Amino acid sequence: METKDVVQRDSFGSKLGIIAAVAGSAVGLGNIWKFPYITGVYGGGAFVLVYLICIALIGLPIVLSEFVIGRKAQKNAIGSFKKLAPGTLWFVPGIMGLVAAFMILAFYGVVAGWTLEYLFKAITNSFVGKNPADLEGMFGGFISQLARPIFWQIIFMGLTCWIVLAGIKGGIEKASKLLMPVLLVIIIILDIRAVTLPGASEGLAFLFKPDFSKLTGEGMLNALGHAFFSLSLGMGTLITYSSYMSKKENLATTAVQVTIADTGIALLAGIAIFPAVFAFGIEPGAGPGLVFITLPNVFQQMPGGYFFCILFFLLLAVAALTSSISILEVVVAYFVEELKLARRAATIMAASAITIMGIPCSLSMGVWSKVKFMDKTFFDWLDFIASNVMLPLGGLLIVAFVGWYLGREKTEAEVTNEGELKAGYLPLFMFLAKFVAPVVIAIVFLHGLGLF
């Protein structure tokens, strides 16, 4: 029955594929583009520290909570809640996740499009001989164009849609399992180059020496929101993916591994970027362009920089792709399983609607950059509401569902694979799930919104 279910619900053929899919979803633009950029905006070390605390106390327990829900119910995000808590309102976080998926993929597709442009620029050797100011101008000039970023966004969304449609997610996830270690190696090489640049230590101090005077409520909320974003939490992605996991999988070990890998890659990306930011005199709070402005400088200072640069942007695009298909999958699984739409129609509809919603995001970097509401552009608003409001609230409900509704016995049965495995961490996990995670999320959330 179980195998039949997996086959019918079409997805990953093997255990390897599922783990690769979860890691592929977590590791993406969040680690390499967003983490360094918001760390720069919110002042460095103290922000990083809050981020790491959020990952350990909140992120990890919620990863495990989503795994418990998904694997127990073996359904999409909304269907899982309906199955485990029939006749209740517990499906609401599933609906919120669906909306968050729409919003996140809208701006994610835009930034992923930028990586394709940069891949193209790398291949055509466009960075050669450019100084930091030129590279900054190059990025600004590119994102403020009308058509070109949208062109790349459409290409990227087309690729995402095509992979989901062709049902070859398993293939791409397995390929990414081979490719992501290569990306890791490039980042480590970049790290070595970056930390040996003159003036690098200032960048490391910025990243790792907390200066609490720079920490604001808004910064803390962003650290929390980013913990969710980076781990693909709070919107049912991991519920959906774990619904395909085998009943033999050790959920806790997998949760720890994914969390460590995801956080490690973000930190390594930070180590590649901040020393270079200071060495080249770039503004750490430069915003969404930080990675695109900084790294081409570093590649120029490296033997073989031309090839490394191509490989880096290629793999960054692949990392973005394995994340974007996981976001689209949340929407498609819902349309197919709950609304009984045909998979093809569901995929094309969802991808088109999301791409259209992404267009104003792209424009808000250029022609619409002055169109702001409370100092945020359309792009900023989508990111803010999805990452900092919907994901933490979704996560709060998910963890509370496991802590309070499912309760210890059912959770224990699921994490121990019906008594096969030991789970000495269970009391700690239940404590985090019932009390710590919900309370901390609520406090950071209200404080960040200025309500507390």
Q: Considering the complex, what minimum distance in angstroms separates the CB of residue 408 from ligand PFF? A: 27
Q: Any contact of residue 237 with ligand PFF (CB under 6 A)? A: yes
> Phi then psi for 42, rounded to 5 degrees?
-95, 20
Q: Which of 43, 32, 50 is nearest to 262 (CA)?
A: 32
Stretch that binds ligand PFF, among 73-81, 229-237, 346-354, 432-440 (CB under 6 A): 229-237
For ligand PFF, the closer CB: 310 or 386: 386
Q: Considering the complex, what minimum distance in angstroms separates the CB of residue 38 from ligand PFF? A: 12
For ligand PFF, the closer CB: 11 or 31: 31
Distance CA 191, CA 185 (A): 10
- Note the residue count of the chain: 452
Q: Any contact of residue 384 with ligand PFF (CB under 6 A)? A: no
Distance CA 369, CA 400 (A): 39
Q: Any contact of residue 323 with ligand PFF (CB under 6 A)? A: yes
| Of residues 8-37, those binding ligand PFF (CB under 6 A) | 25-26, 28-31
Stretch that binds ligand PFF, among 232-240, 296-304, 366-374, 401-409 (CB under 6 A): 232-240
Site string for ligand PFF, 273-312 (x = CB under 6 A): ----------------------------------------
The dihedral through the CA atoms of 363, 365, 366, 368 has a sign that is positive
Q: Which of 9, 2, 12, 5 is nearest to 333 (CA)?
A: 9
Among 232, 259, 355, 388, binds ligand PFF (CB under 6 A): 232
For ligand PFF, the closer CB: 239 or 430: 239
* Rounded-to-10 torsion of CA 173, 177, 182, 187: 80
For ligand PFF, the closer CB: 323 or 362: 323
For ligand PFF, the closer CB: 46 or 325: 325
Residue partners of 434: CB distance under 8 A and separation at least 6: 400, 403, 404
Between helices 92-123 and 132-143, what is the axis angle to 10°? Answer: 130
The token pair that represents 255 in the structure block: 């949760």
288 neighbors 295 (Cβ within 8 angstroms): no
Q: Any contact of residue 229 with ligand PFF (CB under 6 A)? A: yes
Distance CA 60, CA 11 (A): 25
Q: Considering the complex, what minimum distance in angstroms separates the CB of residue 421 from ligand PFF? A: 27
For ligand PFF, the closer CB: 220 or 386: 386
Q: Which of 9, 32, 54, 85 is nearest to 241 (CA)?
A: 9
Q: Considering the complex, what minimum distance in angstroms separates the CB of residue 28 from ligand PFF? A: 3
Stretch that binds ligand PFF, among 204-212, 230-238, 267-275, 410-418 (CB under 6 A): 230-238
Among 11, 115, 160, 230, binds ligand PFF (CB under 6 A): 230
* Rounded-to-10 torsion of CA 390, 391, 397, 402: 160
Q: Considering the complex, what minimum distance in angstroms separates the CB of residue 212 from ligand PFF? A: 26
Beta bridge partners of 373: 376
Residue partners of 310: CB distance under 8 A and separation at least 6: 119, 122, 123
221 neighbors 388 (Cβ within 8 angstroms): yes
Kindly state the number of chain residues that form the binding site for ligand PFF, as judged by CB under 6 A.
Answer: 15
309 neighbors 127 (Cβ within 8 angstroms): yes
Amino acid identity of residue 331, one-letter, is V
Among 119, 327, 399, 444, binds ligand PFF (CB under 6 A): 327
In degrees, rounded to 5, the angle at the alpha carbon of residue 318 between the alpha carbons of residues 316 and 322 is: 120
Q: Any contact of residue 160 with ligand PFF (CB under 6 A)? A: no
For ligand PFF, the closer CB: 84 or 104: 104
Q: Any contact of residue 80 with ligand PFF (CB under 6 A)? A: no
Q: Considering the complex, what minimum distance in angstroms separates the CB of residue 126 from ligand PFF? A: 25
Q: Any contact of residue 326 with ligand PFF (CB under 6 A)? A: yes
Stretch that binds ligand PFF, among 60-68, 309-317, 320-328, 435-443 (CB under 6 A): 320-328
For ligand PFF, the closer CB: 136 or 262: 262
For ligand PFF, the closer CB: 159 or 423: 159
281 neighbors 132 (Cβ within 8 angstroms): yes
Q: Any contact of residue 235 with ligand PFF (CB under 6 A)? A: yes
Residue partners of 317: CB distance under 8 A and separation at least 6: 112, 115, 116, 119, 156
Q: Considering the complex, what minimum distance in angstroms separates the CB of residue 428 from ligand PFF? A: 25
Q: Any contact of residue 176 with ligand PFF (CB under 6 A)? A: no
Which DSSP symbol is given to 452? Answer: -
Q: Any contact of residue 251 with ligand PFF (CB under 6 A)? A: no
Beta bridge partners of 376: 373
| Of residues 103-122, those binding ligand PFF (CB under 6 A) | 104
Q: Characterise 421 by phi-psi region: left (phi > 0), alpha (psi -120 to 50), beta (else).
A: beta
Binding site for ligand PFF (CB under 6 A): 25-26, 28-31, 104, 229-230, 232, 235, 237, 323, 326-327
